[in-house]
Amino acid sequence: MSSIVLNGNVAILDIPINTPLTITAKSNSPTNQVVTIKDGGSVNLMFSGSGERKLIGQAAVRSRAPLTATFQYSSQGGLASPKLNSGGPYSIGKNNFAVVVAENGDDNDYNDCILQIDW
C-alpha cells in the first residue's frame, strides 16, 4: 500500500520498494525552489530553479526505501520552509501517481513547487 505523510516541509512517500519511478519537479514561482529527494540509499537527488511552468528536474529511479522529499525556497535569510499539501497516491488502470505541492506564502495557490511521482 502506498501513502504520503507530510511533516512540516518534508513529505514521506511510502511507495513499493524496487518499483521503477519517474520523479518530476516543476516551479511556478519567481522565487528559487529547492527539492531534495532521498531514500537513505540509492536515491539522492536535488532539483532547483524558478519560473512559471518551468521543469526544474526529472529522473528515473528505483527506490529501496520510503522516499523523503524536503522542500525549501530562497528567502532573504537563506532557505525557508514552505507549506505543503498532497494528493494521492492515485491509481488509474496500471498507472499510479502521487503529487506534493508547496506554497511560499506569497499567493496561496499551492503551485510554487510541484513534485509528481509516477510508477
Question: What total number of domains does the chain contain?
Answer: 1
Q: Kindly state the DSSP code that residue 64 receives in the 8-state scheme.
A: S
- Grid cell for residue 52: 512559471
pLDDT surpasses 90 at 104: yes
Alpha carbon distance 16, 80 (integer Å) = 31
49-86 confidence digits (pLDDT tens): 999 999 999 999 998 889 999 999 999 889 999 999 99
pLDDT surpasses 80 at 1: no
How crowded is the C-beta side of 115, counted as CA atoms within 13 Å?
33
> Residue 57 belongs to what domain range?
3-118
Closest CA to 6 of 71, 65, 59: 71
Alpha carbon distance 67, 77 (integer Å) = 28
Q: CATH code at 16?
A: 2.60.120.400
User: Would the pTM count as exceeding 0.75?
Assistant: yes
